[in-house]
Amino acid sequence: MIKDTDVFNINFYKKEQFSGSYHRMRYRIAKKEEEDKKNLQVTIWPGPYNYATTAEELKQRAEFAFSNEGLKEAVAYLNQTYEAEYR
């Protein structure tokens, strides 16, 4: 199970993205900006390959509010996806 402490504080995502893995599931958390709106975008794909070399059709994405609460929701989404598709 991915814990809130396994990902960085929301301030990290203002300038950087984070890539991680949990068993066979790979994921990336990054800031997505459109016009005046900021969100956290979570991308999940099957391992063993990295984000850049994985085909787009194998990636799934979800967006959350750019906040600490949104980050907690993103972690919950990662765990739900792992349980449903990768376990």
**Nearest Cα to Cα of residue 42 among 57, 58, 56, 29:** 29
**pTM (2 d.p.):** 0.94
């994921």: which residue's tokens? Answer: 27
Specify the number of domains making up the chain. Answer: 1
Give pLDDT tens digits for 3-56.
Answer: 999 999 999 999 999 999 999 999 999 999 999 999 999 999 999 999 999 999
pLDDT score for 81: 98
pLDDT score for 18: 97
Domain that residue 24 falls in: 4-86
Q: Residue 54 to residues 49, 50, 60: CA-CA distances in angstroms?
A: 6, 6, 11
